[in-house]
Structure 1
Amino acid sequence: MGDNGIVGCIVRYRMFLGFLSLAVLALPLITFRGADFYFLVRVDYAFWFSTVLFLVVMYYDLKEYSRVSLYSTLLLEVASFVLVVFARVASLVHTALLFSPGYLCIGRGVAGPGVLVYTYPLMIFAGILCVSVMFMNKLYGGPYVFLEGISLGEFYRLLSLRAGAIFNHPEILAFLLGFTMRLLPEIQWWPRPIGYDTIEYIAHLRDFVDRPSIFGSYYWMGGLRNVPPLLDWLLYPFALLVDPWYIFKLYPSVAYGLLTLLMTAFSRKALGVITRRSLLLAFVAPFSILLLRMSWDLHKQFLATTLFLCALMMLEAGSSFRRHIIAAALLFLSSLASELGAAFTIILSAYVIVRERKLPVSVLYLLLVSASYALIVWYVGKPVATHPVVGVAPPVVGEGPGWESRTLAYMFITFGPLAPLLAMGFDKYANRARYTVYMVAVLLLLSILPWLAPYITPAVGWDRILMTTAVLALPIALPQLGEIKRKEFVAITAVFLALPGFYATMHPSLYYYNRDLFTPLYRMPHGMAPSPPSIEIFDSALDVAKVARELDLKESPLITGFGWDRFLHLELRNPSTSELVCVPSTPIPDDIWQVLTAHNKSSAYVLLAYTSLEEFNETVRAFLSRTQQLPTRSEVCTALDLKVMVEEVYSNQVFTIFRLKIESITEKIPGKPC
């Protein structure tokens, strides 16, 4: 052991430091004046001080006697080490699980007497045991050996070898960590699915089971849409056996684990990253807020991105025509998974054609570009779209003025900490991974177009492009942490990068820490939670959907505001847009009138939140009393006298279904052109 510096002082005075730790631990009891808030703060400070000091002095004491047989009083010291760690962790976990936000910071790690009643005695017992063993070691010149055998140092080396065998397979670690971190929110919120769009995915898969097709149009988010089919094909066999509700409680976790596995494999196989540095990717990537956001509810894009990464891995492995065929097949599958996958395929294919300049390869990727563009046209329903700047453009090109500040904030918060590491990775892998570096650069440029050139931007969501960019950028950036010489600095940086994602996947009380960080981020939830996160509202929406299933929607359409249609869709199989009608905001009588005239109906059901029969009647009366020209199907403006009956069909704590029926329409004055 060294005699100089701080370590030398700790070694020489470790027994005194042990007594000091015990004294600090007992200090809150000695100065006890009542179990108020600040008493708990003092206890937590004492816990932290004593925990750190106990662990440090025990570490150096055990290290000094590491050649002594493990079958000695060292076992008691090891036990006290474990008990100290257990007591501190138990108090933090207990506090996080049972108490409100704001805990889990230094000073608030002991939330109440319920936590204190067992952790405090355990910590004091462990401290007394620690000090007693060190005192005996000092008194007798070393630990008392009960039986000769394996030494503590040999036992530690054996454990290190076992652990090293596990760490030699970072892909497995990446899958296990990714799967576990994504599964924890699903367990926490059981049985409610995580995400906003996930409810619509469940409803759509039920529709697909009811009416399967190779390529088909289905009700999606308020209208009929040509839905990318690959995810349906993938999950259809499972949906025949298990309800899609439970499939989407497990599938996102499996998909997330597989993606983190593939990212780690990509870093090793395509980039040549050594095992030790790929561990950085395995441990940090599962906590990426961009990956978690994509997994939250963008399941088609998540599948497309996974397949796109596989294709890049194949392209970076070599330039044989066989590899190009496999890569093209994977890219085509990515196009079948999402319109974004098809757009990314076109971008990558163009670069492959320019770079390879071989006729068979060019023909292959030209066919792939044609197929991908045809899929985009089918998904969006038009080959080109009008554009105010260029006249006409591909349907994936739009404009986004007003998004400049949001785009800049999103980019700096999500990619800012990675920027130096990504620059180092670009410099290192520019020649080895040309396709990946090219795609990351292009996708980053597309993501910031609403900031740089807001009048020509992607129409599919710049934030979604940035999520896929993260999947390609993290294998390049994170291994560069290995360039830092000091391991403790690497660990601190890794924790800093992972912390927001850690909070997002833990108990909902920890979402509080992401609140101010995520507020500027467009469409970013504070944590991996259902939408809405209120259990009362969520369950009430499920209940009202079961009632909607029994209504005659062919005779009277059901009108709802945007967002609640996905819950109603859960119980309605393949509804038409004349049966389930979604309006942009809370339905008002004007919306109801437009729906009735558009579909030639005399009655409709209306779903409203926190609205009583009296309140709805009042809005209807106000509508009827207004002297206005109401458009009719004959495209003339006519003053009408309407007699309307309103009744309450169903009501729970949040939602009410009303039935509105027009009993008579009397024309008051002759119509005139609008």
Structure 2
Amino acid sequence: MTIWRIAFKIDKVVYLLSFLIPLAVRSIPELLSPVPIGFDTVIYLVQAKNLSSKPAILPFFSKILSIFYSFGVDLIVLMKILPPLFFATTVFLAGMYARKRLGWSWRNTLILIIIMTFSAAMLRMSWDLHRQSAATILLLAYLCMDPWKDLTTKKVVTSFILIMFIGLLHELVLVTVIAINFYLALLALRKKMFKRGLIFIMLAITPVICYEVGAYVTYSRPIDPTGVFVDLSGEWSGKYANLVSYEVGILVATFWYVLPLAPLGYFYDRYFTPWMLVMLVGFLSQILTPFFAVRLGDRWMLYMAIPLMFYASNAISRLNGSRRFKSVAIIFALIIVCMNGFSMLGVVQPFKLPSDLYIGFIPSAMVFSTAKPEHVTAIISLSQVINNVAHKNACIVTHDPWFSY
């Protein structure tokens, strides 16, 4: 009984840390900046303001923000609070999945929490991909529910609700959950579990239907699914080697700290395996079939982050040797893995790291929005002056980062 109580208390501490550690870390750049951080964050605020008086559904995340705006909530303040909460919830659910569904020890779960918290890729997603962050929370909640196991009526209903909101929130997470559910349907059909297979097929189709309905209500037309593909051969005409070099380079720059570890810690999982596979295929389409590649393939690569963090954590936790050697090796590995993310927080001068070569994709410091923190106040003041002196149809010439201001 005493051992059980100790284990229960340790679990509670681990779950508490899995929320508080990422919350504290992700709050640092927000506290260092006078306005919400992230290049695209201001776009959400403008969309929310515009959607507050329109019967549109998409973009769904901005529509939710518009409801807060209608009730007089300060969106500037809200968007400094929500991203740290989203980030903390994401890491918390990942820790819960590792502990409850994968059966990891509390030590291995803590390693995962630290790696995810200081992952440059995870922090990059949290920087301004807020729609994706919200949808990822729902996806991880779906995985924690483990729909494959004990598929009760309550679990089916909850699954459909989560899937519907994922479909409305973000297209890339929509693709991920479709891949997962079609994979689960295939597993069920192979085992001649036809009823379960049908349920997972319906779960795979539902987010697409929700997305198309939302698009029709908002834009009065359905979305053409072929629009997800683009032809890169014209953009890189005669420069295929440059294309390959760029894509391999951005992969290494984004995940250099876990790429050596992930293959060593890979494990099969009925949810992470299709997730990882479909994102990898999307990314590689830019190299293997540039004439028919997915749009924004680098975002597909970035969304491999969560499975890769699990694999890297598994590799670190499986280090062999004496207890002392293992402890030193784990600490050293964590320092290397966390270096890039720590550098991005803005508490120190950013380190010279591989991600600096692709600063347009991964910020060297998260305190930036479309401007450096020291310039934001002046930009807002200028915007207010323009609003006061310019007439309604005035034209302002500027480059695109300032449009939403």
**TM-score normalized by the length of structure 2:** 0.83
Q: CA deviation at 1:470?
A: 0.8
Change in 2 beyond 3 A, CA 1:165/1:384: closer
Q: Does 1:289 align with 2:126?
A: no
Partner of 2:28: 184
- What does 1:536-551 correspond to in 2, within 5 Å? 537-550=375-388
Query: Paired residue for 2:145?
Result: 314
Q: Does the Cα contact within 8 Å between 1:260 and 1:285 map onto a contact in 2?
A: yes
Query: Is the aligned partner of 1:418 residue 2:258?
Result: yes
- How far the C-alpha of 1:238 sits from its partner, in A, is 7.2
Question: Given the superposition, is the C-alpha separation of residues 538 and 501 from structure 1 closer, same or farther in structure 2, using an over 3 Å criterion?
Answer: same
1:455 to partner: Cα distance: 1.9
Residues 41-67 of structure 1 show CA distances to partners (whole Å, capped at 9, x for unaligned) of xxxxxxxxxxxxxxxxxxxxxxxxxxx
Q: Would the aligned equivalents of 1:316 and 1:435 in 2 still touch at CA under 8 Å?
A: no
Superposed displacement of residue 479, structure 1: 2.9
Q: 1:442 and 1:267 mapped to 2: Cα distance? A: 21
CA distance in 1, matches of 2:24, 2:204: 41
Q: Distance in 1 between matches of 2:128 and 2:167?
A: 19
Measure the CA separation in 2 of the matches of 1:493 and 1:291.
Answer: 18
In the other structure, the counterpart of 1:338 is 170
Q: 2:345 aligns with which of 476, 489, 505?
A: 505
Q: Which residue of structure 2 aligns with residue 566 of structure 1? A: 404
Higher relative contact order (CA 8 A, sep 6+): 2
Distance 2:210 2:41 in 1: 25
Given the alignment, which residue of 282, 295, 300 partners 1:446? 282
Give the distance between the partners of 2:220 and 2:181, measured in 1 at CA. 23
Matches of residues 605-624 of structure 1 in structure 2 within 5 Å?
none
Q: Give a deviation string over 1:259-279, Cα, whole Å, max 9, x none.
A: 111111111122111111111
Partner of 2:323: none
Aligned to 1:45: none
CA spacing shift, 1:535–1:411, aligned 2, 3 Å: closer
**Does 349-358 or 480-489 show the bigger shift?**
349-358
Determine the structure 1 residue equivalent to 2:134: 303
The sequence identity of aligned pairs, in percent, is 21
Q: Quote the offset at 1:383 in angstroms.
A: 5.2
C-alpha distance 281-380 of structure 1, shift in aligned 2 (>3 A) = farther
Contact map agreement 1:421 1:477 (CA 8 A) in 2: yes
1:374 aligns with 2:212: yes
Contact 2:164–2:207 (Cα < 8 Å) also in 1: no
- Cα distance in structure 2, aligned partners of 1:381 and 1:409: 41
Match of 1:242, SS state, is coil
**Over residues 253-306 of structure 1, what are the superposed CA-to-partner deviations in whole Å (9 max), with x where a residue is unaligned?**
111111111111111122111111111011221011111111111111111122
Residues 294, 380 of structure 1: alpha-carbon distance in 2 compared, 3 angstrom cutoff: farther
Cα distance change of structure 1 residues 413 and 559 upon mapping to structure 2, 3 Å threshold: closer
Distance verdict in 2 for CA 1:404–1:522, change over 3 Å: farther
Is 1:352 aligned to residue 352 of structure 2?
no
Matched residue, 1:205: 48
Secondary structure in structure 2 of the residue aligned to 1:484: coil
Structure with greater proportional strand content: 1
Amino acid at match of 1:487: S
Q: Is the 8 A contact 1:404 1:452 kept in 2?
A: no
Shift of 1:334: 1.1
Q: Is the 8 A contact 1:339 1:375 kept in 2?
A: no
Give the 5 Å matches for 1:238-637: 240-315=71-146, 318-322=149-153, 323-357=155-189, 358-359=194-195, 360-362=198-200, 364-365=202-203, 367-368=205-206, 370-372=208-210, 374=212, 378=216, 394-401=226-233, 402=236, 403-426=243-266, 428=267, 430=268, 433-459=269-295, 461-485=296-320, 486-507=326-347, 509-511=348-350, 513-514=351-352, 517-520=355-358, 522-535=360-373, 537-550=375-388, 554-567=392-405
Q: Is 2:138–2:162's contact at 8 Å kept on the other side of the alignment?
A: yes
Query: 1:187 Cα deviation (Å)?
Result: 1.0
Q: What letter matches 1:213 in structure 2?
A: P
Deviation per CA, 1:583-608: give whole Å up to 9, x if none.
xxxxxxxxxxxxxxxxxxxxxxxxxx
1:205–1:239 contact (8 Å) kept in structure 2: no
Mapped contact 1:312–1:436 kept (Cα < 8 A): no
**Aligned-residue RMSD, C-alpha:** 3.0
**Contact 2:167/2:174 (CA < 8 Å) preserved in 1?**
yes
Following superposition, the deviation at residue 231 of structure 1 comes to 5.1
Matched residue of 1:213: which SS? coil
Write the deviation string for residues 125-178 of structure 1: whole angstroms up to 9, x where unpaired: xxxxxxxxxxxxxxxxxxxxxxxxxxxxxxxxxxxxx9x956763221121111
Amino acid at match of 2:244: E
Structure 2: where are the runs of 5+ without partners? 1-5, 237-242, 321-325
Amino acid at match of 1:328: F
The aligned residue for residue 597 of structure 1 is none
Give 3-state SS (helix, strand or coil) of 1:283's partner. Answer: helix
How far, CA to CA, are the matches of 1:265 and 1:235 in structure 2? 31
In 2 relative to 1, CA 475–199 (structure 1 residues): closer, same or farther, beyond 3 Å? Answer: same
Q: Point out the structure with the larger helix share.
A: 2
**Preserved CA contact (<8 Å) 2:48 2:65:** no
Change (3 A) 1:380 1:488: farther
Check the 8 A contact 1:202/1:244 in 2, yes or no. Answer: yes
**Any stretches of 5+ residues in structure 1 without a counterpart?**
1-161, 216-226, 386-392, 568-674
Partner AA of 2:298 in structure 1:
D
Letter of the structure 2 residue corresponding to residue 544 of structure 1: L
Q: 1:168 to 1:425 in 2, by over 3 A?
A: farther
Helix, strand or coil at the partner of 1:526? coil
How many residue pairs end up in the alignment? 380
Mean CA deviation greater in 547-556 or 486-495: 547-556
State the TM-score, normalizing by the size of structure 1: 0.52
1:489-513 alpha-carbon deviations (Å, 9 max, x no partner): 0110011000110111132x422x1
Q: What are the Cα deviations for residues 441-470 of structure 1, in whole angstroms up to 9, with x where unaligned?
A: 2212212322232222211x2222223221
Q: Name the CA distance, whole Å, in 1 between partners of 2:223 and 2:168.
A: 19
